[in-house]
């Protein structure tokens, strides 16, 4: 074992990779390898590429974490952040105090959002936006004299974040391990995922069964006890799981009939990833009661989340609030941070000026088509995608599909081969998830498809060398 010195001289001699391995506990760290993994320390980034501390450059097909949408190094965003930091880096957002960027961004989001979702509650990230959306639903019903409406409907395979309630709302089996999960008033409906390539059930039949069971679950809990239903338009981290056509419209209809608020979690699916600023209405035909957004809101340049609330709900909250307790006691020191709001405003300007959503509508189908060419590869069980979100499901030939240990190891192997060839994809269980910056060109997409195909071939070669397949 290595004996590490201490003190400033020893610390200075260590590389960032070594310091990180010794001292940083990463989000979602694999603890079986704590201190032994060689972290990828990213030092620089430009366009759709990132460079590590050893000088290797990668095409970033993860978009940071679904979030870097206009690409790295955009001066417009950086200049706006700098200008705001120089002018006024921070002031409290509480009570009746605000900042110019927060006010401007509130108005801009109201313009871009569907329906009457004109009231914006800023937070710090996606998880805090999800939590705040549920608290708004609770506050709303309490204000209307219905404090018993507290239960929340979520779905198996969902991902809504990593604070305690957001993690409880999430429904990915693999994540529900060591912690406590709120199950007294959080309920998970089944995953709506339907893959026409692999399912033997027609989409319309699947949809009818899903909605029947949703109604049955609501009846069992009692609609008088349920505040809200939360759903990603397409489940992102769960593995790009796409519901059957008409699902969101039918679910919204069920919610309306039962006085349940519909919260659309557009943390991934908003801000251009599906070709629209907001996808609920434009891509799925629903105007939700509440939309949650984060990530692409600032292109990942600053942490920021926002909850867009229907005017109807905000007015009901205000009109009916118990006058002895009229304060909406929810929010964070850094809610709507002025530098983050300045980044978001510049990001929206860039997106409009460059017609980033139009570009996604143009290259998105090409991205999905190129990846779907890999469907027949012996190591691929399925390819799913919509515009610039996609995933490959890996399978050891001749073995069952799904997140078995061997299929997971295979996805990691494919990921490693991609990385060696200069492409970053994201392994999750037996999946490789791809969500490139929205400014990818068709040339970049060709490169992503070629490297991924080569990585699958290399992984197949490895398996043969081990006598498998
Ligand atoms: N909702 C969805 C759909 C997400 O994908 C994520 C993050 N991947 C979150 C919420 C949580 O966002 P954050 O990590 O910013 O808290």
pLDDT digits (tens, 9 = 90+) for 305-325: 999 999 999 999 888 766 777
Residue 224 Rama label (left phi>0; alpha psi -120 to 50; beta): alpha
How far apart, in whole angstroms, are the C-alpha atoms of residue 232 and residue 251?
Answer: 12
- Give, in order, the Cα–Cα distances in Å from 86 to each of 81, 82, 341: 9, 6, 14
Q: How far apart are CA 39 and CA 35, in angstroms?
A: 9
Q: For residue 267, which of 159, 373, 174 has the smallest C-alpha distance?
A: 159
**Structure confidence at residue 1 (pLDDT):** 34
Strands 57-60 and 423-424, how do they pair? parallel
Counting atoms of ligand 1 from 1, which one is nearest the CA of 237? 5
Q: Which residue has the higher pLDDT, 440 or 143?
A: 440
Ligand 1 centroid from CA 127, angstroms = 6
186 lines ligand 1 (CB under 6 A): no
Specify the pLDDT at position 173.
Answer: 86
Q: Tell me the CA distances in angstroms from 67 to 137, 159, 225, 380, one per residue in order.
A: 26, 15, 35, 26
Model pLDDT for residues 395-422, shown as the tens digit of each residue: 999 899 999 999 999 999 999 999 999 9
Does residue 189 have its Cβ closer than 6 Å to ligand 1? no
Ligand 1 centroid to Cα of residue 276, in Å, is 18
pLDDT class for 3, splitting at 50, 70, 90? very low
33 vs 22, more confident: 22
Percent of the chain whose predicted confidence (pLDDT) is above 90? 87
What is the reported pLDDT for 2?
41
Query: Mean pLDDT lowest for which of 128-132, 188-192, 323-327, 460-464?
Result: 323-327
Question: In the structure, what pLDDT confidence band is assigned to residue 6 with cuts at 50, 70 and 90?
Answer: low
- What does the pLDDT read at residue 282? 96
* Terminal-residue alpha carbon distance, the chain: 38
The segment(s) of the chain belonging to CATH 3.40.640.10 are 75-353
Give residue 293 CA to ligand 1 midpoint distance, Å: 9
For the Cβ of 265 lying below 6 angstroms from any atom of ligand 1, the answer is yes
What's the mean pLDDT in 41-66? 97
pLDDT of amino acid 118: 98
- pLDDT surpasses 80 at 287: yes
Q: Is 233 in the pocket of ligand 1 (CB under 6 A)?
A: no
Tell me which fold the domain 40-70+356-465 belongs to.
Answer: 3.90.1150
* Res. 392: pLDDT tops 70: yes
3-state class (DSSP) for residue 238: coil
Give the pLDDT score at 468: 78
Q: Which atom, in ligand 1's list, is nearest to the CA of 161? A: 11
Strands 305-309 and 119-123: antiparallel
Backbone angle region of 86, left / alpha / beta, with phi > 0 → left and psi within -120 to 50 → alpha: alpha
Instruction: Tell me what the mean pLDDT of segment 242-246 comes to.
Output: 98
* Ligand 1 center to 399 CA (angstroms): 32
Using the CB atoms, write b or e for 394-407: b if 16+ within 10 Å: bbbeeeeeebeeeb
Answer whether 294 contacts ligand 1 (Cβ < 6 A).
yes
Pair 99, 111: CB distance under 8 Å: no
ipTM over 0.95: yes
Strand partners, 253: none
Q: How confident is the model at residue 34 (pLDDT cuts 50, 70, 90)?
A: confident
- In whole angstroms, what is the distance from residue 440 CA to residue 48 CA? 7
Give yes or no for residue 159 CB within 6 A of ligand 1. Answer: yes
Nearest-CA residue for atom 15 of ligand 1: 126
pLDDT at 13 over 90: no
Q: CA torsion 16→20→21→23, rounded to 10°? A: 130
Write down the pTM of the prediction. Answer: 0.96
The answer to whether the CB of 355 falls within 8 A of the CB of 361 is: no
Count CB-CB contacts under 10 A for residue 368: 18
Distance of CA 119 to the CA centre of its chain: 22
Contact 234, 274 (CB under 8 A): yes
Lowest-pLDDT range of 81-85, 175-179, 196-200, 274-278: 175-179
Q: Is the CB of 59 under 6 A from ligand 1?
A: no
Band of residue 265 on the pLDDT scale cut at 50, 70, 90: very high
- Average pLDDT over the chain reads 95
Parts of the chain belonging to CATH 3.90.1150.10: 40-70+356-465
pLDDT tier at 38 (50, 70, 90 boundaries)? confident
- Closest C-alpha among 154, 120, 169 to residue 307: 120
Q: How far apart are CA 73 and CA 350, in angstroms?
A: 12
Is 281 touching ligand 1 by the criterion CB < 6 Å?
no
Q: In what order do the strands lie in the sheet with 389-394?
A: 380-386, 389-394, 431-434, 426-428
* 293 Cβ closer than 6 Å to some ligand 1 atom: no
268 pocket-lining for ligand 1 (C-beta < 6 Å): yes
Query: Taking residues 446-454, what's their average pLDDT?
Result: 98
- Residue 8 confidence (pLDDT): 67
The token pair that represents 354 in the structure block: 């460059």
- Give the integer Cα–Cα distance in Å for 98 and 95: 8
Kindly tell me if the per-residue pLDDT of 124 is higher than 50.
yes
What is the fold, at CATH topology level, of the domain defined by 75-353?
3.40.640
**For position 73, what pLDDT does the model report?**
98
Q: Which atom of ligand 1 is nearest to the CA of 126?
A: 12
- Please give the radius of gyration of the chain, using alpha carbons only, rounded to the nearest integer: 23
Q: SS3 of 185, please?
A: coil
pLDDT on residue 176: 84
pLDDT at residue 4 tops 70: no
Q: What is the pLDDT of residue 5?
A: 53
């Amino acid at each position: 074992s290595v004996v590490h010195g201490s003190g400033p001289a020893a610390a200075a001699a260590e590389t960032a990779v070594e310091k990180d391995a010794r001292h940083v506990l990463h989000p979602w760290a694999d603890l079986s390898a704590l201190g032994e993994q060689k972290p990828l320390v990213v030092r620089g980034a430009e366009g759709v590429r990132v460079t590590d501390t050893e000088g290797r450059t990668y095409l970033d097909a993860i978009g940071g974490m679904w979030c870097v949408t206009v690409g790295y190094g955009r001066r417009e965003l950086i200049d706006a952040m700098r200008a705001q930091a120089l002018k006024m880096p921070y002031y409290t957002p509480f009570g009746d105090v605000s900042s110019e960027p927060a006010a401007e961004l509130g108005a801009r989001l109201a313009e871009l959002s569907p329906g009457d979702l004109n009231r914006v509650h800023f937070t710090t990230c996606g998880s805090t936006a999800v939590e705040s959306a549920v608290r708004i639903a609770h506050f709303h019903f309490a204000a209307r004299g219905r404090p018993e409406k507290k239960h929340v409907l979520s779905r198996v395979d969902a991902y809504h974040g990593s604070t305690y309630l957001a993690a409880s709302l999430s429904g990915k089996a693999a994540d529900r391990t060591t912690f406590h999960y709120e199950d007294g008033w959080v309920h998970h409906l089944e995953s709506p995922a339907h893959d026409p390539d692999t399912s033997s059930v027609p989409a319309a039949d699947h949809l009818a069964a899903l909605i029947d069971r949703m109604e049955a679950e609501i009846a069992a809990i009692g609609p008088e006890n349920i505040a809200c239903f939360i759903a990603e338009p397409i489940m992102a981290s769960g593995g790009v799981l796409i519901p059957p056509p008409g699902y969101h419209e039918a679910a919204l209809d069920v919610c309306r009939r039962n006085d349940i608020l519909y919260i659309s979690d557009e943390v991934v699916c908003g801000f251009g990833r599906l070709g629209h600023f907001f996808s609920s209405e434009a891509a799925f035909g629903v105007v939700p009661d509440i939309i949650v957004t984060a990530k692409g809101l600032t292109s990942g340049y600053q942490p920021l989340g926002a909850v867009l609330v229907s005017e109807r709900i905000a007015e009901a909250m205000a009109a009916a609030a118990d006058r002895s307790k009229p304060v909406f006691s929810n929010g964070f020191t850094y809610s709507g941070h002025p530098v983050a709001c300045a980044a978001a405003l510049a990001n929206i300007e860039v997106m409009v000026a460059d017609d980033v959503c139009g570009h996604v509508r143009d290259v998105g189908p090409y991205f999905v088509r190129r990846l779907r060419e890999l469907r027949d590869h012996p190591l691929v069980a399925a390819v799913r995608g919509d515009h610039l979100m996609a995933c490959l499901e890996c399978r050891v030939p001749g073995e069952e599909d799904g997140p078995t240990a061997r299929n997971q190891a295979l996805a990691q192997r494919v990921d490693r081969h991609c990385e060696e060839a200069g492409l970053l994809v994201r392994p999750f269980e037996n999946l490789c998830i791809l969500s490139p910056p929205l400014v990818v060109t068709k040339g970049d997409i060709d490169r992503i498809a070629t490297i991924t195909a080569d990585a699958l071939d290399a992984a197949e070669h490895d398996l043969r060398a081990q006598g498998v397949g």
